[in-house]
């Protein structure tokens, strides 16, 4: 993304909510707090086909040697480097991964030279709020409007109940900072989306930011242990899509639990145990209620024109991924 040379203000949102007034902020003051994350994954990694071998995005300094970023940049990472706004290149490592939220944390080998951003109250960010975003390499922040806090479900067994959908869309979103008017960090950039509008409104493109409220309560544990407390969620290795009101299997991870149990592309998932599923988000909620990672998940599946019952032995997603060399 080419850096702009003048402050960029968000155009008015195409529909309600009405943007809320925000105090004037120096759009250049946060530049030193945002870094670049460069990673190289293990060559035989399961995520290389979808995410690439070499990845690059932004991250936000939250401690002297700690950077918060979006987790997919770090999946199966064998090499990690942080590039600061001043141009320093610092070796780093993956300190933590949190599949439930989608966040990842990087720890640098040397102290960073940028000012850490304090984590703010993302729960208090309402539709219509004015916020700022900043990615690495940009000389100033961009003003955005929060359009929606509607749920988001991803095809990769991922669900956010209250993400931050913003407008207008920006290109440098991956790992970018979302900053409240008080200067605190409230989100990390994850996606560009076709529909950021509230339910019932005409679709408009925008970005999805993961709210930091998902990680604040467990941050200390993540930094100390590399994962959140408690058992991991069950993971099946199945990608789904809604097709004419049906939850259809689009892909199964080779060698993953779903494939081993006989699930295949084109199958339709109709229930978890005796409970019918009402869509992708409902499927995830019922799946995660069925037990922790390792639990046997009973699925009812429409396969070849007949309903079949499959038992899928779930796993911890982190255990399925390839480990960096030497780990």
pLDDT, tens digit, for every residue of 141-186?
999 999 999 999 999 999 999 999 999 999 999 999 999 999 999 9
Which whole-number Å values give the CA distances from 56 to 36, 80, 251, in the listed order? 7, 10, 26
Q: DSSP alpha helices (H): ranges in 180-279?
A: 219-225, 257-261
Over residues 51-108, the pLDDT tens digits come to: 999 999 999 999 999 999 999 999 999 999 999 999 999 999 999 999 999 999 999 9
pLDDT at 38 over 70: yes
What's the N-to-C CA distance of the chain in angstroms? 35
pLDDT averaged over the chain?
92
Structural domains in the chain plus CATH codes: 1-230 (2.40.10.120), 238-320 (2.30.42.10)
pLDDT of residue 17: 54
pLDDT at 326 over 80: no
- Which helix (H) or strand (E) element contains residue 24? none
Q: What is the CA radius of gyration of the chain?
A: 20
Whole-number Å distance between alpha carbons of 195 and 207? 9
pLDDT of residue 323: 78
Q: For residue 22, what is the DSSP state?
A: -
């Amino acid at each position: 993304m080419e850096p702009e040379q003048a402050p960029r203000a968000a155009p008015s949102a195409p529909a309600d909510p009405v943007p809320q007034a925000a105090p004037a902020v120096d759009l250049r003051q946060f530049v030193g707090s945002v870094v670049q994350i460069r990673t190289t994954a293990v060559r035989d990694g399961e995520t290389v086909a979808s995410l690439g071998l070499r990845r690059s995005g932004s991250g936000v300094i939250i401690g002297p040697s700690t950077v918060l970023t979006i987790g997919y940049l770090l999946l199966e990472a064998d090499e990690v480097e942080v590039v600061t706004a001043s141009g320093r290149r610092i070796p780093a490592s993956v300190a933590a991964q949190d599949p439930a939220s989608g966040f990842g944390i990087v720890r640098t080998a040397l102290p960073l030279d940028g000012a850490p951003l304090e984590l703010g109250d993302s729960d208090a960010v309402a539709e219509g709020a004015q916020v700022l975003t900043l990615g690495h390499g940009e000389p100033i922040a961009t003003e955005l409007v929060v359009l929606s806090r509607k749920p988001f479900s991803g095809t990769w067994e991922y669900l956010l109940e209250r993400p931050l959908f913003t407008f207008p869309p920006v290109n440098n979103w991956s790992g970018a900072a979302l900053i409240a008017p008080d200067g605190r960090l409230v989100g990390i950039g994850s996606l560009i989306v076709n529909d950021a509008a509230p339910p019932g409104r005409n679709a408009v493109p925008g970005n999805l930011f993961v709210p930091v409220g998902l990680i604040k309560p467990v941050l200390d544990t993540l930094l100390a242990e590399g994962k959140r407390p408690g058992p991991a969620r069950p993971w099946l290795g199945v990608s789904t899509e809604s097709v004419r009101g049906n939850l259809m299997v689009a892909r199964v991870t080779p060698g993953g639990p779903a494939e081993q149990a006989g699930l295949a592309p084109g199958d339709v998932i109709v229930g978890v145990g005796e409970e019918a599923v009402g869509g992708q988000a409902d499927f995830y909620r019922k799946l995660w209620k069925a037990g922790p990672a390792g639990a046997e998940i009973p699925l009812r599946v429409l396969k070849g024109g007949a309903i079949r019952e499959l038992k899928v032995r779930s796993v911890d997603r982190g255990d399925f991924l390839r480990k960096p060399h030497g780990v």
